[in-house]
Amino acid sequence: MSRIVRFHQTGAAEVLQIETVPEIEPGEGEVRLRVHALGLNRAEVLLREGRYLEKPILPSRIGYEASGVIEAIGSQVEGFSIGDKVSTVPCFSQTKYGVYGDWALVPARALAKYPDNLNDIEAASIWMQYLTAYGALIELGCLTSEQTVLITAASSSVGFAAIQIARRQGANVIATTRGEAKKQTLLDAGAHRVIVTDQDDLVKEVMAATAGKGANLIFDAIAGPLLLKLAKAAAYEASIFIYGALSLETTAFPLQLALKKGLTVQGYTMFQVTDDAARFARGKEYTYAGLKDGSLVPVIDKVFPFEQIVEAHRYMESNEQKGKIVVQVS
């Protein structure tokens, strides 16, 4: 009998419950982990609220990212052994394989051994952020050193990952944040210019930073009315990747600007990487290389004990964090 987190109804953070249940033996193609740490993601908040891309099957487990040690292996699993230190890649359904708990059952394809230079906290903070940013900036966006990338809501873990990847490519990096409090943190993280959207004119600032040309690639987590401003700030034939909808407002397509500038505006999720074997392999290789050479370093904001999982979710909803929120399990 071990602890897991489930919710029996959708709603605020308080619906999350720590329950004691029997551990399940892994089936074909599955492994069971002894979980050491959990990396929190906005997707989990949305699942809990019933507003995610998939709807929870109640009572629902929850959670994409964990680090830990393999303690049981099902049939038809190759390349892993009991005792291996691994972290989970978010390429599965949370409703079937949620990882919040002392143990987690996951498909073997969702496992990646993590480098010895990372601790459990860092290892729980790798894959969602780096593969999400990698897919848009590198795999689909083909970002080069001659280009400018504009990253909105840049103080999230994915935002920091995007800054690091863009700097690794040698690109010019512009980051946005709503308030002044996070500006210096983003500059310290590698952004060449930070636009405080509550006080700065986003379009004017982008144009000033690009000699009037605009941003070649825009990586947006907000959508809603902001999309029109992003289109105005975009360069000719720029690509805009929308990977989130933090505004929660209707997103109107900027047709006239898209026609005038030849813009590509597309929705994007990390599953476009993880559901494609070749992209997935390239993404993991790129991430491992960056972790090894030090160009990719997980930014950890705050660590909560497992018993404070509700408080950890409330903190994520506050939008105060600068980087990854992690929960220490054991």
User: Are both 113 and 8 inside the same structural domain?
Assistant: yes
- Number of neighbours of residue 317 by Cβ within 10 angstroms: 13
**Mean pLDDT, residues 188-196:** 98
Contact 36, 307 (CB under 8 A): no
d(CA 162, CA 244): 14
pLDDT for position 283: 97
Q: Is residue 232 situated within a structural domain? A: yes
Each residue's pLDDT tens digit, 26-81: 999 999 999 999 999 999 999 999 999 899 999 999 999 999 999 999 999 999 99
User: Are both 91 and 176 inside the same structural domain?
Assistant: no
- 1 has a pLDDT exceeding 90: no
Rounded to the nearest angstrom, the gap between the alpha carbon of residue 33 and the centroid of all alpha carbons in its chain is 21
Q: What percent of the chain has pLDDT over 90?
A: 96
d(CA 78, CA 57): 30
CATH number at residue 206: 3.40.50.720
Q: Is residue 104 situated within a structural domain? A: yes
Which residue bears the tokens 């997103």?
251
Domain limits for position 115: 2-126+298-328
Each residue's pLDDT tens digit, 217-260: 999 999 999 999 999 999 999 999 999 999 989 999 999 999 99
